[in-house]
Structure 1
Amino acid sequence: MAEPLIELKDIYKIYHMGDEEVRANDGISLTINRGEFVAIVGKSGSGKSTLMNIIGALDVPTSGSYLLGGEDVDQMSDDQLADIRNRMIGFIFQQYNLLPKSNLLENVELPLLYAKVPAEERKERAMRSLERVGLADKWKNMPNQLSGGQQQRVSIARALAGDPSLILADEPTGALDSKTSREVLNFLKELNEEGNTIVMITHDNSIALEAKHVVRIHDGKINFNGDVKDYAAII
């Protein structure tokens, strides 16, 4: 039986710009089960980035409820939000967000450092993550010594290091050429086949079709939520 990991119900995120009310998310309800590979797709300004921030516990909704692994996220303090990010979520960003003056091992260790994992265990887990992405032999290298694709693999290793319940990938191929994008997408598929839950944010329909399930956002609302094959038939 499918086990929900992400449960969003009637999520509203409202901003006030002068006298104008902007509903970035306008009554979104969504359930994502453990082990799914979901693409959330939408054009710029659709509300997908706001939704990503809420799912990633980087922001809280104006109203509605959000359960992550059964924990009530929208009622948490800032310290509790930071804790849930460290414990349950691995982030992959478009621009890699690697520390330029730290070597690869130190970059991958970073979320474990925040989670207060002891130094020896931290190093072991970071090395295992680098091995998974094929970069263990380069652990002493600095980010500027790597190609863009290799840097993105380091960011994937960093996301995996904490053994998160959820991997949240924000436009993970946006800064890569087509060949390297394919390599990264194939690796995300492999991770999903191993049982990892992946939510990928993208503006590109062709990238969204790499997932198994697609959620399309338009003007702050979900206007498609279903299997990738059904989505491919309507775009």
Structure 2
Amino acid sequence: MTRRLEPTVLLAAISPITIALVAGAVALILLLSGSLIAAIVIGIAVYVLRVLVSRLIAAHIAALPRRIDPFALREPWRFFVRDAIRARTRFTDALTDTEPGPLRDRLLEIGESLDIGVEQAWEAAQRGQQLTDARRRIDGSQLQRQLDGLEAADPRRSGLEAQLATHGRLAEREERARSELESLDVRLDEAVARVTELGTRVGGVAELDEVAASIGFVVRELEALRLGLDDVEGAA
């Protein structure tokens, strides 16, 4: 199967900087040695090195964790992401205050699951914002007014009714997503509060299993919500 070059690598391969580097290397070798073959070999080596470095940089950037920015969203979606981040911050504070040992080790495991949960909440909230944007692009009130002004047999009614039905479906999905995300945020807050409480106890490791299961459930539900919203653009 043929692999396509990443855009960053492709741009590096044909960029003026790459061409200038290769040309400079060739000119320098010609000046120093007078050998055309050596100049061509060095030029190819510089070109390959430049592309490889660009590829490594692109891979490194792609491997970096995506930045979660709740302020890129509007309410209520912004609130849900901020709430998830605050829960993660409270968990981190509890972890910091916990002495090294089995309890801290278990908290570290739970923290990995919680990180996934925050990421899933961010993804789901972005899909929710897309639903809101799609719904707002359809002016339901105006469509209804237009329908009210048409005769029952007017052929334009079918098109307006179809648009109004789309608006209704989007609004229904938006409200369902908002309600589910709000509920899962609350459950995440409860689980983190429980972790904070258990972190102050001696021998609270066994009780953390229940909390870990609760957080795991929330994470799975957040993922299911996000997957259910992945076709939001098609719904628009």
TM value normalised by structure 1: 0.23
**Whose Rg is larger?**
2
Higher strand share: 1
Structure possessing the higher relative contact order (Cα contacts under 8 Å, 6 or more residues apart): 1
Higher helix share: 2
